[in-house]
Structure formats: structure tokens, C-alpha cells
Amino acid sequence: MSKRFTSTQSDGSVAANGTQSDPTGKLQDEDDRKVGLGKKVTLLRGISIIIGTIIGAGLFISPKGILKNSGSVGMSLMVWIACGVLSLFGALSYAELGTCIKKSGGHYTYIMEAFGREMAFIRLWADLIAIRKGEQRHWPAGMAVISLAFGQYILEPLFMPCHVPPVAVKLATAIGITSVMYLNSMSVTWTARIQIFLTVSKLIAIAFIIAPGLYQLFKGETSNFQNAFELSNWKLSGMPLAFYSGMYAYAGWFYLNFVTEEVDNPERTVPLAICISMGIVTSCYVLTNVAYYTVLSPEELLASDAVAVTFAEKLMGNFSIAVPVFVALSCFGSMNGCLFALSRMFYVASREGQLPEVLSMIHVRRNTPLPAVLILYPMTMLQLFVGDIYGLLNFMSFLRWLFIGMVVLGLIYMRYTKPDLPRPFKVPLFIPVIFCLTCFFMVFLSLYSDPVNTGIGFAISLTGIPAYYIFIYFHHKPKWFQWALDSINRTLQIILEVVPTEQ
């Protein structure tokens, strides 16, 4: 089923050339009314997508992992800076990929371009089967975890000083997930506008931490910075874990590459948005931690379950009640940005024939990838109410670094296999090389620290190989199976009012 647009002249007749005459005699081009994802992601919206998904609840709640593993205040700040630089290297590598391969889909698309359809399907399979049992930034377990933080902190001011009932948290979380899904289903424009608002909100919240913290610093409150590089608690074995925590905190710089086809002037917008965003995020992370240390001692920071709340209570008194609200808004921004970006990967995979056809269709009036958005809803809600989410957070976090490392390795590989590929933005070769080595170091660290769970995760991802040949490569499927699949596609297309994208 496809949608065909006809056009009529002012007298009601159909124009032969597919254009429509208005009363003044001017012609309206049919292309303006085509069903598809338009180029609605401007520079500001691109920046809001990146910043909004990187900065989640972690900066407000618990930045103590880096301090614990680095052993000193000075070393922890150095780790924050170093991880920001390394993340910038990865972001610049993705900026090059986003300007020379102008397709949406992020990791999936780049692995397909560099290493072929089989490897791309394994990446997709890992998202559908394996990574969904993984860490915070992946779906649907990841969405459920970020959403649970939203539910917890949006209710915190209402129940203070009592504990928020778990049932209330899950109900508030379900409402948050539903609202994000609804927003992304209704309008791309409004999704982007809300993302800008949420990003500005979280930057204002960070400013409320940085400004008084730096004021205290300029007043001479530097006692916690005395002997900042004291090495009595420093252990070499803890540094890789500190870097692991830091790199995880910066994760999310790649989400703009998931919507490349919707970016206005991607040759300029993608690299500029990435560079501006990483500069802002790194500055926020480092200055926020400096602000924490002007008020909290290392011991107090390590003892706190929610560092921003402890900071606000000690410095601002009753104003600290606003901090949970800012944390909730920050989580909502991460939820919105993740869904906006990752739904495009399913959209592209369907377009490539590796997922059901209906997932690559667009709503006839709203021009949103409605099926690709909605497919995540039941999976996320099931994970929220059934799964042991927090017990699954780090089950297969190594897969993230393995696939990102493969993407950047693909960039290096294509420098030699596709030298004539237009590259409007090209980074020096040492940048992807250093970042690629960093990613594979993260993979090695996961294998070393938790070989059993990592091995299980790797084995599950390898089931994508037989799955590819059964579901994709093997064309002679039983007629009844193909008939059932076609019937489901047609039914969903009618119910959801979606059609294939018009080229």
C-alpha cells in the first residue's frame, strides 16, 4: 500500500504535471506535501539532542565513582578532563562519518557501510536481544532505568522527608514514558522544541551549582583542594575503572548521527553541533565537580547518595527542594533525546530490509516514524514492571565499546578502501586511532573485570549470525509465513495510518 497525492487546479481539475494552481496563478510544488522526515534538525536542535542525552541524572546524583577509583580530588578532575578530550576524539570521528555518509542510523549504518550487511545485522540484533539487558543508555532496560530516576525525583518533593513508595515511582515512570512516546509520535518539530527547553533547563540547574560553588572558591574556600594530588589513596588498578566511569558519563555524543538525514545542512551542522556540545558538556562536568569540592570534602562526597542534593542542603538550605525537580527534568530530556534518535535506527534497519517493513513507514499527516517509535513502548513497559532493571545495568556494557570501536575502526578502514569518498569534514588520523584503542581497552577491561557475564553477553550477540541467515539471507521462506508477515504489515499500516516514505 502506498499513498499517492493528486493535485487539482482552482477549478477542480487535476493538473497533468503534478502541481496545483492557486487563485493567483502561482504553482505550488507537490514536493512540499510529500510524506517523509524533513530536515527539521537545526544547529540549535542538534546541540540540544547531544547535550540533552549526555547529561542525565548522574552528574546530579553520584559522581563519586571517579573520585573513589582515582584516589584524590586532583586526579578525579584530571580524569574528568581526559575523558572529555577522549570523548571529543570519538565525537569528531563520528562527525567525519556523519558528513561523508549522509544516512541516519548511527552505529548500524556506519558498520554496514564499512563491513557489510551481516555485521550491521549483528549490531542490530545485539540492540534487540542483548543490549536490552544491558546498561542505562540502551533500550528498553536503559529507558526504564532513566525513567525510574525520573519517577523517583519528580515525586521526591511531594513525599519529603518520607520515602517515596515504589508503586508510586513506577506509576509516575509509566506516565513519563507514555508522554515521551506520545510526543515523539505526534510531531518532530515539537519533540525538538521540547528537547531545547529541557536542555536549557538542565544547563540552568547546573549553573545554580557552578555559580555559588565558584563564588565560594573565590572567597577562599579552598581547603578541600589542599594536597589535591595526595597519592596515599591512589592505586594504579583503580585508574582504568575511573576512566571507565568517566567515559560512560560522557556517552551520548553519537546520537545526532542517528538522525543525519533530518539535519539541515549536515556538512556544517553535524561537526559544529558536536564540537559546541562537547565543549559545553566538558566545561559543565569539570566546573560542577570543582563546585562540589568547594563545599563538600572528599569524604562527604563519597558518603552522599545524591551529591547535588547534599551540596544544595549545605549551601542553599530550603532551596535544595528544587534539585530533585531539576534532576527529573534532566532525566526526561535524556528519555526524549534517546527515543528521538534511536527510533531512527529501527526506521533505517527496516528500510534496509532487516526489520519488518512497517517500521520504515511514516504517518500520513504528522510525518513522524510512528511505528519505529511505538515498537519500543511495550518492551520498555514490560521491562519496567517485570524486569530486575538495576540488577542488569552492567551486564553487557562491553558491547557498547566493542561496536563503537568497530565503527571508528571502520572509519580508518574506509580511508584506505574508499579514498575517493567525499569528506567535507576530515579529522587527523591519530584522533580515530587513539579513540579506537580506547574503546578496545574498555572491552578488555570488561573481559578482565567480569569475564563470566561478558562472555555470556558476547555469546548472545553471536546468535545474530544464525539469525541473519534464517531471517534475512534465506529468501525461500514458507508461503504461509510470508503471507502472515504481509498481512500483519498491511493491518498495522491501516491502523497506524502510515505509508512508505516518498522519495
What pLDDT, on a 0 to 100 scale, did the predictor assign at position 386?
A: 66
- Mean pLDDT of the residues in the chain: 81
472's CB contacts (< 8 A; 6+ apart) are: 117, 121, 353, 354
pTM of the model: 0.84
Specify the range with the lowest mean pLDDT, choosing from 22-36, 61-75, 154-168, 346-360: 22-36
> How wide is the angle at C-alpha 319 spanned by C-alphas 314 and 321, nearest 5°?
100
Query: Of residues 502 and 72, which shows the higher confidence score?
Result: 72
Q: Which of 275-284, 302-311, 378-387, 463-472 has the highest mean pLDDT?
A: 275-284
Nearest by Cα to 337 from 202, 485, 156: 202
260's CB contacts (< 8 A; 6+ apart) are: 98, 101, 102, 103, 104, 105, 266, 270
What is the DSSP-derived secondary structure letter of residue 225? Answer: G
What pLDDT, on a 0 to 100 scale, did the predictor assign at position 40?
A: 86
In this model, does residue 410 exceed pLDDT 70? yes
Coil, strand or helix at 105: coil
In this model, does residue 446 exceed pLDDT 80? no
Q: Over pLDDT 70: what percentage of the chain?
A: 85
What pLDDT, on a 0 to 100 scale, did the predictor assign at position 33?
A: 60
Q: Which residue reads 544464525 in cell numbers?
A: 466
350-384 per-residue burial string, b: 16 or more CB within 10 A, e: under 16: bbbebbbbbbbbbbeebbbbbbbbbbbbebbbebb
Mean pLDDT within 79-98: 93
Nearest by Cα to 270 from 422, 50, 85, 435: 50
395's CB contacts (< 8 A; 6+ apart) are: 133, 134, 135, 453, 456, 457
What pLDDT, on a 0 to 100 scale, did the predictor assign at position 125?
A: 86
- Give burial (CB, 10 Å; 0-12/13-18/19+) of 54: buried
Cell of 498: 502510515
What is the DSSP-derived secondary structure letter of residue 164? Answer: P
193's CB contacts (< 8 A; 6+ apart) are: none
What pLDDT, on a 0 to 100 scale, did the predictor assign at position 5?
A: 39
What pLDDT, on a 0 to 100 scale, did the predictor assign at position 49?
A: 92
What pLDDT, on a 0 to 100 scale, did the predictor assign at position 31?
A: 43
Q: What is the C-alpha to C-alpha distance for residues 386 and 392, in angstroms, rounded to an integer?
A: 12
What pLDDT, on a 0 to 100 scale, did the predictor assign at position 144?
A: 63
Mean pLDDT within 87-110: 92
Provide the pLDDT confidence category of residue 397 given band limits of 50, 70 and 90: low
Q: What is the C-alpha to C-alpha distance for residues 375 and 498, in angstroms, rounded to an integer?
A: 14
Nearest by Cα to 90 from 114, 108, 106, 112: 106
Beta bridge partners, 361, equal: 500
| Residue 289 one-letter amino acid | N
Nearest by Cα to 244 from 66, 35, 48: 66
Q: Are residues 262 and 40 in contact, defined by beta-carbon separation less than 8 angstroms? A: yes
In this model, does residue 430 exceed pLDDT 70? yes
Mean pLDDT within 116-123: 90
Neighbours of 79 (CB within 10 A): 21
In this model, does residue 437 exceed pLDDT 80? yes
Q: Which of 10-24, 63-77, 449-463 has the highest mean pLDDT?
A: 63-77
Q: What is the C-alpha to C-alpha distance for residues 203 and 32, in angstroms, rounded to an integer?
A: 36
In this model, does residue 428 exceed pLDDT 90? yes
Provide the pLDDT confidence category of residue 238 given band limits of 50, 70 and 90: confident
The DSSP result for 116-154, as a single string, is -HHHHHHHHHIIIIIGGGS-TTSTTHHHHHHHHHHHHHH
Q: Which helix (H) or strand (E) holds 363?
A: strand 361-363
Q: Over pLDDT 90: what percentage of the chain?
A: 27
Q: Are strands 20-21 and 498-500 parallel, antiparallel or unpaired?
A: unpaired
In this model, does residue 465 exceed pLDDT 50? yes
Specify the range with the lowest mean pLDDT, choosing from 202-206, 323-327, 474-478, 490-494: 474-478
Query: Of residues 448 and 83, which shows the higher confidence score?
Result: 83
What pLDDT, on a 0 to 100 scale, did the predictor assign at position 26?
A: 41
What pLDDT, on a 0 to 100 scale, did the predictor assign at position 68?
A: 84
In this model, does residue 409 exceed pLDDT 80? yes
Each residue of 181-219: pLDDT tens digit?
999 999 888 998 999 999 998 898 899 889 988 888 888
Q: Are residues 239 and 69 in contact, defined by beta-carbon separation less than 8 angstroms? A: yes
Mean pLDDT within 300-329: 81
Provide the pLDDT confidence category of residue 404 given band limits of 50, 70 and 90: very high
Q: Identify the structural domains of the chain with CATH numbers, from first to last.
A: 42-500 (1.20.1740.10)
In this model, does residue 45 exceed pLDDT 70? yes
The DSSP result for 294-318, as a single string, is HHS-HHHHHH-SSHHHHHHHHHHGG
